[in-house]
Structure 1
């Protein structure tokens, strides 16, 4: 996940004793404006879940073709993440956020007006570009503007992520029941509101100055020379095979309408939000970041395996999807914290490199899941996804010596 520059980081760390004691909810209007915009931006991840079967039916598309809506979105995000640091260091956080919001609004609106699956897939890629610009700088803005310290700023950001991911499917199910076009047009409208809020509530230049000197396009690649960052990035790519198999393919095997799918993924997203804010910090304090992360990944792999074994049992799939939200919420906060403490590289650059790797997994997994189901049977995508998640745990285990310092860094902070 993105963060801010070394100058901001050092300032916050030097004043850590005061900022860490500040209330999580005692924030400026600017922080809440970014928080609200982040919720809307992350709606895009789960927004299309309830309408995937409807899109397949109305546009005469196969399941694997529909899952390309996630593939194009994540593939463009992965590549765009490599340039977001360079862009934000020149435009400043505020205008990078606003540019991302404009792009999301335009491409989501065009998506709602499209008439073919391939056009929609292409437009989702444009949406991914806007989202990359936004998410790559949203945490930087929250950390820079927050008065509660880096740790609580991460929690606030993850809460926005969780709320966006949970509200997205609910909104998608409600609007999608009227028309599959509704969720796309709804997001475009909400992004306009977010744009107005950020335009007037965020400071004009106080964050931009902290992002100097300007960041090179090659810096994210150089950051991957740090073994700890490379290990976490590859682990996240493997883990995302399971994450996006669940997100992109599970709606096809649940046998529910748009409203039903919306409520299932609402439950999933709520658990994700709650655990990311309240449970993950406690796990981290008691067991450490890396051990807690591996435990969540093992449990998630077992859950995917259960979905693969009992794919035809509706209640098992529904319960597993909802329960997965708790595991994923914990893991998202834990791995974000690990990346923030992994290297001495400027944090937005480190995050860009890490995000590039993890979104590669998110790009391949959805289409692969659809193809595996078409070639074999609906159980195979979940079993394969479970295998990738277990491989991520083994990868972390064999490279533990390169990342064990993240627990020490967190304890010191």
Structure 2
């Protein structure tokens, strides 16, 4: 294996990918749209179904918690039924549960159905990452950039579409997700060739045993803490933005929130594709992760101080998207390269742990705001990021494989689900 800097794909190589890669990336974009579609309608759901902000934010918690738990088992499933069938199963479940959410009249029922949605999301997202890495040309980093670009575009378009549909009804984004994922399902069926199953399936306990690897365990913990901050921003911010607008006598409905998070998602996409690779090249992977987390923590301090300013909140949220894009790409690349574990196993373990962090934040932010005040969730997120920085910095000796000078033979096992 070349160093992690094998990293930067050759000029033009990033876009010259096999058909299978584009099929998965297209479906991944639509899958990630499903996350942001719901964000602009959280205040509307809270009002229409007489739910507290904490209850509305449980739509993220149930989804992320079930996604995180199921992530540990996705490599076990995909190496038995194959990557293509796993992707199709995941997308199919999302279609069903998203449609059921749109048909529901009770917030608690929607919270439960979002858990079923999370099962489908877990099967798809973890398998998509390892499939793109296995199939893409231009090295591991080029594949990860494509994956993060799909994430960024999905997160950008999702809130905008959610806002447009949410102006019609809070049910619209749920039905919109179902339709879009059905299109993604067709794309996988038509465009993705059948991928052979690996000769040796992954054992059900392997993703859990992978946490014995110190480097992956630390990266997973850092990702959990980082995702706590990520979803403190994504799930909680619609409420202080809505309150700040109301204080200024402005109407700030689903469409306006959609535009704010569209800007946030564009920032995620641009920084993950264009900024992250350049920062990694200039400051190393480790330096980029530490430096960006410091800036992200400062952004939360800014949000806490500006929590009653509509303009300040919008600036802080969109700027946070820049940090998120860089960290998504950098931490994912680190998790894929820090060990010699099979990448499907590393992906399942890392993804499972980090999604649990998002689940905790989506529920806790509302409770903290109710108990302490509107700025409190942002202060907590800033402190959590400081802890993540300290953990990562203290564990730095474990990450010798991430240094630019590291050169060794590639040792990716044959058990890649997308081979």
Which range, TM-score by smaller chain?
over 0.9
Residue aligning to 2:180: 190
Residue aligning to 1:5: none
Matched, 1:212 2:199: yes
Residue aligning to 1:171: 161
8 Å CA contact retained: 1:21, 1:148: no
Residue aligning to 2:248: none
Residue aligning to 1:243: 230
User: Of the candidates 12, 18, 24, which is equivalent to residue 28 of structure 1?
Assistant: 18
Matched, 1:202 2:189: no
8 Å CA contact retained: 2:267, 2:322: yes
What CA distance in whole angstroms lies between the structure 2 residues aligned with 1:325 and 1:404? 29
SS at match of 1:235: helix
Shift of 1:299: 0.7
What CA distance in whole angstroms lies between the structure 1 residues aligned with 2:380 and 2:186? 44
SS at match of 1:292: helix
**Closer/same/farther in 2, CA of residues 18 and 115 from structure 1, 3 Å limit:** closer
Across the aligned residues of Structure 1 and Structure 2, the Cα RMSD in angstroms comes to 1.9
Deviations 1:150-170 (A, max 9, x none): 221111111101000111100
Matched, 1:100 2:87: no
Shift of 1:252: 0.3
Unaligned runs of 5+ in 2: 243-251, 411-419
Residue aligning to 2:414: none
Shift of 1:21: 6.1
Give TM-score, length-normalised by structure 1: 0.93
What CA distance in whole angstroms lies between the structure 1 residues aligned with 2:53 and 2:288? 35
Deviations 1:111-170 (A, max 9, x none): 011111110001111111101000111122222332333221111111101000111100
Q: Give the count of matched residue pairs.
A: 398
Superposition pairs for residues 89-168 of structure 1, below 5 Å?
A: 89-168=79-158
Residue aligning to 2:377: 381
Residue aligning to 2:219: 232
**Closer/same/farther in 2, CA of residues 100 and 410 from structure 1, 3 Å limit:** farther
Matched, 1:343 2:375: no
What CA distance in whole angstroms lies between the structure 1 residues aligned with 2:48 and 2:254? 13
What CA distance in whole angstroms lies between the structure 1 residues aligned with 2:118 and 2:199? 26
Residue aligning to 1:4: none
User: Of the candidates 396, 399, 407, which is equivalent to residue 403 of structure 2?
Assistant: 407
What CA distance in whole angstroms lies between the structure 2 residues aligned with 1:398 and 1:150? 26
Shift of 1:377: 0.7
What CA distance in whole angstroms lies between the structure 1 residues aligned with 2:38 and 2:134? 32
Deviations 1:355-413 (A, max 9, x none): 12111111111110000111111111110111101110011111111124312477778
SS at match of 2:403: helix
Residue aligning to 2:209: 222
Give TM-score, length-normalised by structure 2: 0.91
8 Å CA contact retained: 2:9, 2:141: no
What CA distance in whole angstroms lies between the structure 1 residues aligned with 2:7 and 2:214? 31
Deviations 1:169-190 (A, max 9, x none): 0010000010000001011011
User: Of the candidates 380, 386, 389, which is equivalent to residue 390 of structure 1?
Assistant: 386
**Closer/same/farther in 2, CA of residues 269 and 411 from structure 1, 3 Å limit:** farther
User: Of the candidates 24, 36, 41, which is equivalent to residue 46 of structure 1?
Assistant: 36
SS at match of 2:308: coil
What CA distance in whole angstroms lies between the structure 2 residues aligned with 1:383 and 1:309? 9
What CA distance in whole angstroms lies between the structure 1 residues aligned with 2:216 and 2:105? 42
8 Å CA contact retained: 1:29, 1:201: yes
8 Å CA contact retained: 1:290, 1:404: no
What CA distance in whole angstroms lies between the structure 2 residues aligned with 1:144 and 1:380? 42
8 Å CA contact retained: 1:72, 1:363: yes
Matched, 1:265 2:253: no
What CA distance in whole angstroms lies between the structure 2 residues aligned with 1:409 and 1:89? 33
